[in-house]
């Protein structure tokens, strides 16, 4: 669910006060893969080569589509948390077959990855570096997010990219909270200091440093565009399946 969470975090960073216009098309590149992001009328679409995610703020629903298999799952955000808990319970049962030492280490790693550990909330600091850069034609300003003394993210935020009021930011925050982990390496995402960045603009470049890895996500195109309603619905002929089947 990292992709979904990353999308939600990015969405919350849109500006809050511009007149109602057409929707937005944002093209982002990460690890050589390009994602198309569409936003219009409280609806969002994250389209990658392997999968499509639809988010309906008005209905509080998430839809995940597998174009290759022509299957999809759709349900309220709360269902995702339930499935995560079920998966964790199943893994706990499987871990009982391991020797005690291996079981303890595996359990700790699993809890950290799924946000169920007992690790306290991290100490978060947001730094404005004073650096700026033009990315995809938009001037952006660099911020750093530090968590427990470690640099976690570098954000280049452009105030020139903002969504209209057609996206309900209160409902967006509720959706973000439904997916947020209560612990783990990315717990800093829900810190008020990080949330304070959400009103400054859109992150046209994000450098994430988690679990010893560095990932760069960068906007390569952003434009206002009238979007067809068909972008936000499941194509005809697709078969509905259980959520766990979407991750096989």
Domains of the chain: residue spans and CATH: 2-247 (2.50.20.10)
User: What stretch of H or E contains 129?
Assistant: strand 124-135
- Residues 112-125 have pLDDT tens digits of 555 554 556 788 99
Contacts 24+ apart (CB under 8 A), 92-98: none
Give how far the C-alpha of residue 97 lies from the chain's centroid of Cα atoms, to the nearest Å: 34
Q: Give the global pTM.
A: 0.74
Stretch 147-159: mean pLDDT, rounded? Answer: 92
Q: Apex CA 91: angle with CA 62 and CA 64, to 5°?
A: 15
| pLDDT over 50 (residue 6) | yes
Tell me the pLDDT band of 164, cut-offs 50, 70 and 90. Answer: low
Partners of 130 in beta bridges: none
**Residue 124 · residue 145 · CB < 8 Å:** yes
**Using CA atoms, how far apart are residues 82 and 231, in angstroms rounded to an integer?**
27
| pLDDT over 80 (residue 163) | no
């Amino acid at each position: 669910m990292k992709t979904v969470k990353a999308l939600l975090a990015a969405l919350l960073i849109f500006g809050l006060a511009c007149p109602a216009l057409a929707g937005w098309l944002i093209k982002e590149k990460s690890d050589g893969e390009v994602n198309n992001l569409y936003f219009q009328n409280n609806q969002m679409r994250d389209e990658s080569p392997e999968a499509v995610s639809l988010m309906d703020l008005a209905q509080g629903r998430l839809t995940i589509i597998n174009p290759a298999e022509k299957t999809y799952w759709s349900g309220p955000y709360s269902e995702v948390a339930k499935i995560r808990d079920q998966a964790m319970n199943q893994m706990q049962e499987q871990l009982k077959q391991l020797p005690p030492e291996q079981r303890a280490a595996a359990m700790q790693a699993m809890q950290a990855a799924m946000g169920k550990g007992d690790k306290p909330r991290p100490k978060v600091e947001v730094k404005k570096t004073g650096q700026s850069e033009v990315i995809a034609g938009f001037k952006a300003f660099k911020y750093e997010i530090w968590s427990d003394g470690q640099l976690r993210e570098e954000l280049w935020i452009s105030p020139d990219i903002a969504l209209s009021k057609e996206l309900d930011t209160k409902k967006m925050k509720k959706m973000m909270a439904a997916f947020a982990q209560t612990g783990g390496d990315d717990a800093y995402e829900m810190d008020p200091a990080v949330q304070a960045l959400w009103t400054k603009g859109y992150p046209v470049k994000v450098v994430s440093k988690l679990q010893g890895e560095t990932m760069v996500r960068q906007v390569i195109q952003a434009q206002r565009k009238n979007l067809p309603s068909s972008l936000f619905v499941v194509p005809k002929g697709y078969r509905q399946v259980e959520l766990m089947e979407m991750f096989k």
